[in-house]
Amino acid sequence: MKKAFMKAIGLAIAISALKTSAIQASTLATGRSAPHPDRIMVEYYGASSVVGVNGAMPSKIARPNSVQQFALRTKQPVEGHGVNGTSAMDLLYGTGGHRPAWKQRMLASRASHVIIVAGINDWRYDIPTFKKALAQLVLTAQGAGKQVVLQTTQPTAQRLSGGSDESDREVANRAGAVRELGAEIGVPVIDVHTYLTNYAMEHGKQIAEMMPDGLHPAPWVYLLIGDYAAEQFAALVPK
C-alpha cells in the first residue's frame, strides 16, 4: 500500500505543472549554493501563525512570535516565510503571496532544514487533496537536499470569529492528516495541535483563552509553541 502511494505521488510530481502568480511574499535570492553539510539553517513556512499575528490584537504582530522563540531556543539561524491565508496548494504552486513556486524556491534555498506548517487554511480542499499537496511539498524539498519536518497548526475556537465548531473540527482533521502523512512517508511531525489541546486540559484553560480571536495564538501561547517546537526539533531531527 505504501509503495503504491509513493509511486502515485512520484507520478503526480512528474506531471504537475508548477504555476506562478500572485504577489511577491518575500525576497528570495536565486543562484544560491547548496547548504554546508555541517551547518543547520532552518526555513519555516506557513500562514499567519508563522507571521505571528497576535490573537489578542489581530492588527499587531506578536514579538517574539513562535519562529523567533524557536530560533532563540535552538540557537540556529532561522528564517520565517509566513503569509496570511496560506494553504499547502499556495506553497506548492506559488500562489496566495508565496512566490516563486515551491520547486524553484527549494532549488534556490540555502536551508538545511525546512519546517512546513499546514492545515488551518486547507479547509477548501478535501483530505486526500491536502495530503497529496503536502506530500509533493515534502518530496520536492527532499529532492533539493533538505531535511523536512511537518508541523500541525494550533487548535481553534472559531465561534469567536464568526465560525463554528465544524470549522474547528476541519482544522483538527487536517492536523490528523499531517500526522498520518508523516507516518506514511517517514517525515518527523511537530504536533502543536495535540500539544496545545493537552496543555489546555492539563492547565484548566479554554482554547478560546489561548486563541483570543478564535484563530491566532495569544503572545504567551506563541512562546509555548516556539519552546515546544524547538524541543521537538532537537529530539526528532538527526544531527
Q: What is the pLDDT of residue 40?
A: 82
Task: Supply the pTM of this predicted model.
Answer: 0.83
Instruction: Please indicate, yes or no, if residue 27 is contained in any of the structural domains.
Output: no
Instruction: Please indicate, yes or no, if residue 33 is contained in any of the structural domains.
Output: no
Instruction: Please indicate, yes or no, if residue 10 is contained in any of the structural domains.
Output: no
- Count of domains for the chain: 1
Instruction: Please indicate, yes or no, if residue 4 is contained in any of the structural domains.
Output: no
Instruction: Please indicate, yes or no, if residue 159 is contained in any of the structural domains.
Output: yes
Instruction: Please indicate, yes or no, if residue 5 is contained in any of the structural domains.
Output: no
Instruction: Please indicate, yes or no, if residue 14 is contained in any of the structural domains.
Output: no
Cell 540556529, residue located: 76
Tell me which of 4-13, 26-35, 132-141 is least confident. 26-35
| Residues 200/205/207/212 CA torsion (nearest 10 deg) | -140
**Domain at 202, CATH number:** 3.40.50.1110
- Please determine, for residue 136, whether its predicted confidence score (pLDDT) is greater than 70: yes
Residues with Cβ within 8 Å of 80's Cβ and at least 6 positions away in sequence, in order, are 44, 50, 51, 52, 65, 67, 68
Three-class SS of residue 74?
A: helix
Which cell numbers in the block locate residue 126?
Answer: 478535501
- In the chain, alpha helices (H): 2-15, 48-51, 66-74, 88-93, 102-108, 127-143, 165-185, 192-202, 207-210, 219-236
Q: What is the pLDDT of residue 239?
A: 64
Q: What is the pLDDT of residue 28?
A: 32
The domain in which residue 125 lies consists of: 38-234
What are 164-214's pLDDT values in tens digits? Answer: 899 999 999 999 999 999 999 999 999 999 999 999 999 999 999 999 999
- Provide the pLDDT confidence category of residue 33 given band limits of 50, 70 and 90: very low
Instruction: Please indicate, yes or no, if residue 31 is contained in any of the structural domains.
Output: no
Q: Tell me the β-bridge partners of 82.
A: 46
| Residues 13/178/164/223 CA torsion (nearest 10 deg) | -120
